[in-house]
Structure 1
Amino acid sequence: MIDARKPLRVLASEGSSTSGREAITILGLAGHHVEICDPSRWCLARYSRFVRKYRHCPPLRTDPAGFLRFVERLLASQRFDVLLPTHEQGFLFARAADRLKLRAGLALPDFASYRAVHSKAGFSRLLDKLGLPQPPTRIVNSADELRDGLRFPSVVKASVGTASRGIWFVRDASDLHRALYDLESAGDFAGEVLVQDLITGTVEKAQSVFCRGTLTGFHAYRQIAAGVGGGEAIKESVSRPAIRAALETIGAHLGWHGALSVDVIMPLDSATPLLIDCNPRLVEPMNAYRSGTDLVDLLLRVSLDETPAPLADGRAGVRTHLAMQALLGSASRDGTRRELIRECGRIAAGDGLYRGSTEELTPVRLDWLSAAPLVMTTALLLASPQIASSLARGGFGAHLLDRGSIKKIESDDFMRNASPRRPGESQDP
């Protein structure tokens, strides 16, 4: 058995997401050899001294079979100890886990369990089955059902979506008209659409790592300030035994193996946390790392078939921030250069909400190359603050899934079509 405490060769499945970028920092600080594959030659993780090699790969969204063939050939031609799915590639890897685990360590549950929480409708049904709390929820399949079943205010969610895409906050008839237009234009009624009561409260997130159904690591944090699209710009670690217990219930029921994260609303008028979303991966693990809970290391151990002792929960009250998200959020809300410059000053000086906080996405003092995307984002926003929303939309790239790619992966003949060897194709990744 490979010792996860020694330097490992790790292949990260993408380099575009904030979660993947933070995992790479943690891996690099631990001395691991990290390589990434991503369809974007300018992905966020390329600006890191911790990435030893970048490999240009087919896009997951439009060519999942080609992406899988690429990864399999790379694992066959190069030695990697662990294949680390840092984002939605886990859906594909769970489908092909039997083949991939022959080449590298990989921590994922069976495909049926992964599908159960990847779909927003599937996760809602699972919560109902387990008796776990969520906002009042309805699942609809048409525009007419949505109109008839909706009450203001509500949150409308396409069953498939990530990075805050496919979510509409519907407070009045105008919002409803916009949501219906977007859903019908995207063909989302071909699947299931969730309608949840909009609950007033604090957004929190929890992350965990499971080893064959047993919870071995847990961390939770609350949102202090939002960035663009509702993501966290500033966060602070918290102690949440009730959320931990809910995750334990979910993981035990599914026999979960690997990483699992949930989004939660803490209602203003209740002490009961309401689960609102699930991500079958680690979401931005740096706050946990700064709090003393290294979930990335734990995930490596589980990937290598170790049975690690459970980690103690990290310290509460540890504050971290993502400067890029904060600047994008400031520009999208205020839209003036003056306020953007003030926000830059607060971040640089550690004033206001940033007091005692450390940078988690672009830690320039630890990784000087990470200054490049931060400086570029700042320059673009100062030139035109109004482009904040379009810059944020750029994060929905070819490394993510959509309804079409999910349908391909779920198809009966996908694994045959994704054979690692096809006539006439190069075998060199």
Structure 2
Amino acid sequence: MADSALGPKLLRVLVSEGNSTSSREAITILGLSGHIVEVCDPSRFCLARFSRFVRTFHRCPGIRDDPAGYLRFVESLLAARPFDVLLPIHEQGFLFARVRERLEDRAGLALPSFPSYRTAHSKAGFSRLLDQLGLPQPATVIVKSASELRDAIRFPSVVKTSVGTASRGIWLVRDDSELNGALRELSVGGAFADEVLVQEFVAGTTEKAQAVFCRGKLIGFHAYRQIAAGAGGGEAIKQSVSRPQVRTLLMTIGEKLVWHGALSVDYVLPDDGVTPLLIDCNPRLVEPMSAYLAGLDLVGLLLRISKGETPATAPESREGVRTHLSMQALLGCASRGGSRRDIIRECGRLLTGAEPYADSVEELTPVRLDWISAVPLVTTAIVLLAAPEWAVTLAKKGWGAHLLVPGSIRRIESEHFR
């Protein structure tokens, strides 16, 4: 477990949402470091409500449907209460970067310029950046219509909307039938009003890396590999790895964008090669507890640069540290067709620490540290035992009003947004 990167000073931190796994893990890290944590979220039953580390919960408008209302709510909180840091833990950073100058006078905030943020947030923008920098990625074509997509497709391919998180807007297309299904969903969702990526499918191992930058300089880096999958593309079990090549790639990206704050990437290690291929970017931390348990407090570093400090580069995290997310494990078991008996067995393995959870530490719901986190975990188990087929529906509850959609992005980008 990491020592706090911040030192003895305790801060009052406003976390921008409370329903993502990344937010829930950041709250645990903040609480273990002794900081005063307040959270705003549109859902009264978000994950953050079930943590002893949250001092105050503020129910707010959803950024998906009302970005201006959400911004007014956050600004009113910052005006009324003495927050040291505003922590944009998820896609709210897109909005905050748009009006960064209005927020920086009210609380510490670590974000790059809005053009840089927009480049990293858009899959098409990120792909173009990789081309510009000559960095490795699968062969990619960017299209704007169904006919262009049909012309560009080579089976198998991965089709992606330019905006999407938590594995939304991604289709693995292996034949004409799957292509037609993807085109129907793209058309219904209005995806061709923006850009769509057609990317070569590369067989290999997908890993993730995350970093914190201070004005373009990388000061903290962590990478991990998926050992077992959960639902919706998430990890149920992960293990920290050492990836100096990926660290160098991230350094190049951060320097080019003069990045300030957190930045994460997904990449594939191909079965037939050694060069990692970058496939996605998130302008934020993604589930930072893995790094924390491997000895690197990325959240603490983020707080320090939010307060205007310039920390020294942190030592690398330890490789080989295995962690798991029990809720994802249960959802993954059910979503793969697991029966009630299978789910009961999975619960037993989680409770006893049997394989594959031996020598693994819980990330998301650390009941021994935060007993209230047992509530969503037990609720998930009960619901799945009652109806295993609800696994996909439960996983999609994380795709709520705290996330952006193309319409809200266009409103935030508009010239007259206030």
* TM-score, reference length from structure 2: 0.98
- Letter of the 2:394 partner, please give it: L
Output the amino acid matched with 1:230.
G
* Match in the other structure for 2:293: 290
Shift of 1:346: 1.3
Instruction: Name structure 2 gaps, 5 residues minimum.
Output: 1-5
Query: Secondary structure of 1:163's partner?
Result: coil
Residues 4 and 300 in structure 1, CA contact (< 8 A), matched pair in contact too: no
Contact 1:4 1:304 in 2 (8 A): no
1:180-220 CA deviation, whole Å, 9 max, x = no partner?
Answer: 00000000011100011111111100000000000000000
Query: Partner letter of residue 110 of structure 1?
Result: S
Q: Secondary structure at the match of 1:275?
A: strand
Residue 334 of structure 1: CA displacement?
A: 2.4
Contact 2:159 2:199 (C-alpha < 8 Å) held by counterparts: yes
Give yes or no for the alignment of 1:31 onto 2:37.
no
Instruction: Provide the residue aligned with 2:244 in structure 1.
Output: 241
**CA apart distance, 1:276:** 0.3
User: Is residue 335 of structure 2 the alignment partner of residue 363 of structure 1?
Assistant: no
Instruction: Name segments (4+ residues, structure 1) moved above 4 Å.
Output: none
1:78-130: per-residue Cα shift (whole Å, max 9, x none)?
00000000100000000011010010000000000000110000000000001
Maintained 8 Å contact 2:305/2:311: yes
| Correspondence 1:376 to 2:379 | yes
CA RMSD between the two structures: 0.8
Report if aligned partners of 2:22, 2:287 keep a CA contact under 8 Å in 1.
Answer: yes
Residues 130 and 136 in structure 2, CA contact (< 8 A), matched pair in contact too: yes
2:159 to 156, 161, 173: 156
Percent identity of equivalent pairs:
69
Give the structure 1 partner of residue 405 of structure 2: 402
Alignment-derived partner of residue 209 in structure 1: 212
SS at match of 1:353: coil
Query: In structure 2, how many angstroms separate the alpha carbons of the residues matched to 1:297 and 1:370?
Result: 22
Q: 2:305 corresponds to which letter in structure 1? A: V
Pairing partner for 2:47 from 44, 60, 73 = 44
Alignment coverage as a number of residue pairs: 413
Letter in 2 for 1:168: W
Report the TM-score when normalising by structure 1: 0.95
Pick aligned residue for 1:107 from 93, 106, 110: 110
* Distance in structure 2 (CA, Å) of the matches to 1:261 and 1:359: 21
Q: What is the one-letter code of the residue matched to 1:341?
A: I
* Distance in structure 2 (CA, Å) of the matches to 1:334 and 1:213: 45
Equivalent of 1:89 in 87, 92, 99: 92
CA separation of 1:4/1:256 partners in 2, compared to 1, >3 Å: closer, same or farther? farther
What's 2:132 paired with?
129
Q: What amino acid maps onto 1:214 in structure 2?
A: K
Q: Residue 351 of structure 1: CA displacement?
A: 1.6
**Residue correspondence of structure 1 range 132-281 to structure 2 within 5 A:** 132-281=135-284
Mapped to 1, the partners of 2:252 and 2:314 lie a distance apart of 18
Shift of 1:4: 6.1
Q: How does 1:405-424 map to 2 (within 5 A)?
A: 405-415=408-418
Letter in 2 for 1:193: V
Shift of 1:335: 3.0
* Deviation for aligned residue 1:148: 1.1
Q: Secondary structure at the match of 1:311?
A: coil
Give the AA of the match of 1:244.
R
Pairing 1:320-339 to 2, within 5 Å after superposition: 320-339=323-342
1:152-205 per-position Cα deviation (integer Å, ceiling 9, x unaligned): 111100001111100011111111111000000000011100011111111100
